Amino acid sequence: MENVNKPSTSIKNWAIDDRPREKLLAKGPAALSNSELLAILLNNGSKNKSAVELAREILKLGSDNLNELGKLSLHDFKQVKGIGQAKSIIIAAALELGRRRQASFALEKPVVRSSRDIAQYLQASLKDYNYEVFAVVFLNRANKINHFEIISKGGITGTVADPRIILKKALEEDATSIVLCHNHPSGNLHPSRADEELTKKIKDAAGYFDIKIIDHIIVSEEGFYSFADEGIL
């Protein structure tokens, strides 16, 4: 029987200019494709596939879109043969760092002058959740952002926020005003009756501590809805 040697899939056998690490050193990270950058994180491939080939399969899980890839779970990544728990954790950590970078403020605390000033940050922070979360932005006297925190997590159709937890945190952060926020994974930006009632409940309770609720913003990938802009706060 004829002995046919299959070509090795190892990146070490590639031309130096084609190897992701060497290419990054020579040309910088911007010169690499998404699959090449992901291959560097994976470090190595499997028995029959190179790290770049594995990376391409992972990217296909998100239709070659990093935004969609960021919505996947560790279990989803492990559907690719050759990707175990360790590599899945690396991928999830990298995507989370990217998300946090996009959502990060500059070192200088930004001033909130309008709903749009804060909506972009909130969209970046909450867009990948496929269930509802309720978050609060805490502001100081100069309307600069002191702190952002997710207060509660719920299901696909709703979440519950406890006014006592929100106000306790506001006092700890020495906030004089706050912005309430939650996401609608469905994409529908219109507030529910429950959203309006919860907003009033928190606003009334905050008044006893001279803390002002300056807005309640609902975000989705389609945009945002501001209670203040719509005159229902």
The yes-or-no verdict on residue 70 having pLDDT over 80 is yes
The stretch 118-127 carries a mean pLDDT of: 79
Domain locations along the chain: 11-103, 115-226
- Spatial distance between the Cα atoms of 39 and 11, rounded to a whole number of angstroms: 10
The yes-or-no verdict on residue 108 having pLDDT over 60 is no
The yes-or-no verdict on residue 6 having pLDDT over 50 is no
Check residue 166 and give its pLDDT.
92
Q: Dihedral sign, CA of 28, 30, 36, 40?
A: positive
Say whether domain 115-226 belongs to CATH 3.40.140.10. yes
Check residue 2 and give its pLDDT.
44
What tens digit of pLDDT does each residue of 32-67 get?
Answer: 899 999 999 998 888 888 889 999 999 999 898 888
- Spatial distance between the Cα atoms of 145 and 69, rounded to a whole number of angstroms: 30
The yes-or-no verdict on residue 170 having pLDDT over 50 is yes
Most confident option among 1-15, 114-128, 188-202: 188-202
Encoded tokens for 81: 């043969």
Q: What are phi and psi of 111, to 5 degrees?
A: -95, 135
Check residue 157 and give its pLDDT.
52
Within 13 Å and on the Cβ side, how many CA atoms surround 212?
Answer: 10
Check residue 202 and give its pLDDT.
92
CB 180 within 8 A of CB 217: yes
- For residues 103-130, b (16+ Cβ closer than 10 Å) or e, as one string? beeeeeeeebeebeebbebbbbbbbbbe
Check residue 28 and give its pLDDT.
86
Neighbouring-strand partners of residue 183: 219
The yes-or-no verdict on residue 13 having pLDDT over 90 is no
The stretch 157-169 carries a mean pLDDT of: 81
The stretch 135-152 carries a mean pLDDT of: 87
Q: What are phi and psi of 6, to 5 degrees?
A: -75, 140
